Amino acid sequence: MIDLNIKSDPVFLADKLKKFWELSGRKIDLIQEHYDETKGSPVFTADGKYSTRGWTEWTQGFQYGSAVLHFDATGDEKILSAARTKIIEKMAPHLSHTGVHDHGFNNISTYGNLLRLVHEGRIKYNEWEKNFYEVALKVSGAVQASRWTKIKDGGYIHSFNGAHSLFVDTIRSCRSLIISHKLGHVLQGEGDCHISLLERALEHIKATAKYSVYYGSGRDIYDVRGRTAHESIFNVKDGNYRCPGTQQGYSGFSTWTRGLAWAILGFAEQAEWLDSVDEKELASFGGKAVLLKIILDAAEATGDFYISKTPADGIPYWDTGAPGLAKIGDYLSSPADPYNDFEPVDSSAAAIASQGLLRLGRYLKTRGDLKSGGKYWLAGIRIVDTLTDEPYLSTGENHQGLLLHSVYHRPNGWDYIPQGRKIPCGESSMWGDYHFREVCLYLQRVIQEDSYYTYFNLIK
């Protein structure tokens, strides 16, 4: 269980964050200087150097988005200029990519962050540039919404596996639909039928909450409150739910911790967004109170599960049911050991979850729930405190990654295992590095009492 005995005020992390951003700039420069982009998008490191892995193109937005976040935190104009150029040159295919469920990853991280900086006055205002980013985000949200599967009680954005497959990850791609909707866009279908992007986003959120998250209600014998299924499988002919599954976890009946982290963050930031929506706009969808209960029930359940099933320092092993955990001993009562011989940790899951826990904690505290809100906030602080120090912070001069001990696909054996080791360790991932930067930017803004950072800040 995560040790919550830590200071609540993140100001004590200020020096760590300063060092973090210094390292961040060096890592961005290393990738720009040495990575061969003709090989495809960088995905994860092998022996300290970024490599690619063709599955889907879901990490390029994290590469350029990392540079935009770095500018946001440091004001480094050189890194921003290079990122803007690359986004214009490279990201257009991601806007019209009909084969992935990752628009919220690729395009909110790039075009979205740039538009937010325009509105915040961090980038010199240019009407054409603003319009360019807005059109990009409108298209992205509509294309993402077109990956639609109807089920008996609504529908969902289906994964790259096909129409039968709902991934828990995709809760964070709902951002693309919501932003597109808020920009006044719709998806047009056959016969010029107008399809509400808000409706599809809300239906996907509800489907994820119902089918991807467990609540201890006896759904099956593995129904533990807060556990998540990576994949939920449906019969596309009759719209019935069939069973849980997984692509990157140990099994459909264990919890892949990065999927769990996506759920915590995805639901927490949607709770924040829901507070900004006029009640009238939600009346036909059940009303704000009903929707908020669904979202908060899922966010708190997954947050509680993460806290209880993660080692004391806040860094989880890659799956809570991984068979080698039994050989480690009482692994929940001590800090995680990324150098053990049995199962790898996943620091990228920690980076993602930390932001979700911080957002959820702050949200609940502002609504008067100081006990629960304080718990989640402290858990998030604990994780960031751990990640911004060795052995997770990558201080090596030649290692291109920023966050060490991330894993990609343990079942497929894709992750690099250093010589003399039995399991993957010491490597980074593009999504881990991006979300590490994102949570550090979030906390830096809190410490500096800057404007509160949300994904929907890009709408004015």
114-143 residue pLDDT tens:
999 999 999 998 999 999 999 999 999 999
Band (195; pLDDT cuts 50, 70, 90):
very high
Residue 3 within a domain = no
User: Is 319 inside a domain boundary?
Assistant: yes
Looking at residue 252, its pLDDT comes to: 96
Give the span between the Cα atoms of 435 and 355, in whole angstroms: 8
Q: Is 80 exceeded by the pLDDT of residue 460?
A: no
Does the global pTM surpass 0.85?
A: yes
With respect to residue 437, please indicate whether it lies within any of the assigned structural domains: yes
Using one digit for the tens of pLDDT, what is the confidence trace for 298-323?
A: 999 999 999 999 999 999 999 999 99
Residue 251 lies in a domain: yes
Taking only the tens place, the pLDDT of each residue in 359-413 is: 999 999 999 999 999 999 999 999 999 999 999 999 999 999 999 999 999 999 9
Q: 202 is in which domain, residue-wise? A: 10-458
What's the pLDDT at 12? Answer: 98
164 in any annotated domain: yes
The CATH number for 15's domain is 1.50.10.10
Residue 170 has pLDDT above 80, yes or no: yes
Domain count, the chain: 1
Q: List the Cα angle 328/404/344 in 5-degree steps.
A: 25
pLDDT at 53: 85
- What pLDDT does 56 receive? 82
Q: Residues 259-300: pLDDT tens digits?
A: 999 999 999 999 999 999 999 999 999 999 999 999 999 999
Give yes or no for residue 54 having a pLDDT over 90. Answer: no
Q: Is the pLDDT of residue 186 over 90?
A: yes
For residue 2, is it within any domain?
no
- Residue 5 domain flag: no
The pLDDT of residue 205: 98
Q: Note the pLDDT of residue 55.
A: 78
Whether 361 is covered by a domain: the verdict is: yes
Provide the mean pLDDT of the chain. 97
